[in-house]
Each structure stands twice: as structure tokens, then as C-alpha cells.
Amino acid sequence: MSTILINNLCKRYGKFQAINNLSLELDSGQIVGLVGPNGSGKSSLLRIIGAFDMAYSGEVLINGLKPGLESRKIVSYLSDKPYISDNLRAEQIIKLYDDFFPDFNKDKAFRMLDLFKLKSEQKLVEMSKGMGEKVQVLLTMSREAKIYILDEPISGVDPASRKIILRSMIEGFSEDALMIVSTHLLNDIENIIDSVIFLDSGQIKIKGSTDDLREQHGKGINELFEQIFQ
């Protein structure tokens, strides 16, 4: 059974066709990069996979389940506009997650807090944008989920933090999980993804293993991306 199976998925907002007859099959044990220009349907697709948008047509199966409460339990999701609470300290948020999510690994969260050099007694409202994103990433990665979805996890942070976040993604990734990372900063993630999906106007333009694509086209994934989307 595929971890994610999508057949003829369509999603429209009024007249705008965000996803256009998209089919996709993804198995566990890999990190997938989802890239494409703004408005290409990345976030729309991820929202549907995460069962945060149920208004679509076509077939979607997450670990064999239709997106809903049950499928959401195995998905750890970092949205592109994450927000929990300004008023809580980092340690309180970790405790909150530990309370709410049975698959949450508190030790891992505190370890990553150290790795990110964040103070557990600092409130989110006092943190910079980059620090806030790190907290969000560590919360997402500290769940022992089957599917991790990270929508633009590194867009708002400085290059040094980006490196640490990417490191934590490698560290947090387990072999029986599937991780999907959407970004427009392909350069930073191209070495850590197994395969890449180029999305354009709600359709898959190219999909394949990054090493195969490098071999086939004799150029880097980022270069290939720039060439296709010029």
C-alpha cells in the first residue's frame, strides 16, 4: 500500500484551478521536495494531503484512508503560516504538544531545543522570526509520525539557521516515514531530498529521484528548475 495515493485530484478556488487533474504515488522511506513557483498549487496539495482541506474532487488515500480525523493522526504538519500562542514559553508549548499528541517525543523536542540554542523559558512573542520557525520545526519533527509535511520550513530564516533546520530534518527523519518539504529555496534542500516534484499550474511537470535527474540532465536540480520555469 502506498503511503500517499492520489488519483485525478482537482481543486479550484472559484475560477482559479489550483490543482489540475494531478495523480501521484509516494512511498515511505524518502524525503520528497515539492517545488514550484508561487501559486503553482504546493500549499493546496499539502493541505489536501494533511486533511486540512476536504473540498476537492478526485481520489486521495493517506495510508489507505480518506483524509480526515483518522488520517490526520499519522501526519505531522507544519503549515506555511504556523502559529500556536504568543503567550507561552517554549517549554510550555512542548508540554502542550506532549499533552495533545500521543506520538509526541518530549525528550527529542528538548534535545532539539538545545541543538537550536533556544531558551526553554523564552516566550514565543519574544523570539525572532527565525527562532519561532525553529520552534515550529522542532515541534513538527518531534512527533513520531508516518508522514511529515513541512510547508516552506526555511523561508523566513537566515542561512545559518537554515542549515541547522535541515540538519534536524535529517536527524529526525526515520526510515519508515515519508517527508514532504515544499520550498522555493531549492538550492538549500537539494542535497537532502531523495526525489523532487516540480509543480506548475497545479500539475506535475517533472518527478523523479534527484540523483537520476542529475545524471539524466547533467545539471543540478536547482539549475534544472530555473531552466524549466524561466
Contacting residues toward other proteins, per CB under 8 A = 13-14, 29-31, 47, 51-55, 68-69, 72-73, 75-77, 79, 81-85, 87, 96, 99-102, 163, 166-167, 170-171, 173, 175, 190-194, 210-212, 214-215, 218-223
Nearer to other proteins, 13 or 230 (CB): 13
Nearer to other proteins, 120 or 195 (CB): 195
d(CA 37, CA 225): 10
Nearer to other proteins, 45 or 75 (CB): 75
Q: State the sign of the Cα–Cα–Cα–Cα dihedral 192, 197, 200, 205.
A: positive
Nearer to other proteins, 5 or 84 (CB): 84
Assign 78 to helix, strand or coil. strand
And the C-alpha cell for 87? 503567550
Residue 109 vs residues 19, 97, 98, 100, 104: alpha-carbon distances, Å: 35, 10, 10, 14, 8
- Shortest spacing between CB 209 and other proteins, in angstroms: 9
- Shortest spacing between CB 153 and other proteins, in angstroms: 13
- Shortest spacing between CB 200 and other proteins, in angstroms: 21
- Shortest spacing between CB 133 and other proteins, in angstroms: 14
Assign 139 to helix, strand or coil. helix
Q: Which residues pair with 181 in a beta bridge?
A: 33, 150
